[in-house]
Amino acid sequence: MSDEIEKTDDEWRAELTPEQYRVLRRHGTEPAFSGAYWATKETGRYLCAGCGAELFSSAHKFDSGTGWPSFWQPAADRAVATETDKSHGMVRTEVHCARCGSHLGHVFPDGPRPTGERYCINSVSLTFAPEE
């Protein structure tokens, strides 16, 4: 991707809140049902809290019952990237922002049609832009 963002660790620390830094740059997870967007039903776009890239649309959001915002697909094919995560004694697929590499959450194969995917995303990894 030609507009990839690279910053030093010190730059990320200076720009993000401590909780954003813990999740986005250190692959943390916020507690279930604690984030700002898990129950949001407004129409709009979900952007990366690290760089502002559009990641998800409210049109693809659904209530998974997990306590995290869940989407059945990203806003665009190349909005997010994935890699295998073998931490915590399990194998999962990590989702991160394709533009800045910030950790967003994980994707699981138990979502609704048409994709069957559930992008389980930390609210702190996102900012919400309501539809005007």
Q: Which residues are catalytic?
A: 120
Residue (of 15, 115, 26, 96) closest to 55 by Cα position: 96
Number of H helices, E strands in the chain: 2, 9
Distance from C-alpha of 29 to C-alpha of 72, rounded to nearest angstrom: 20
**Omega cis (within 30) before 114:** yes
Cβ atoms within 10 Å of 64's Cβ, excluding its own? 19
Length of the chain: 132
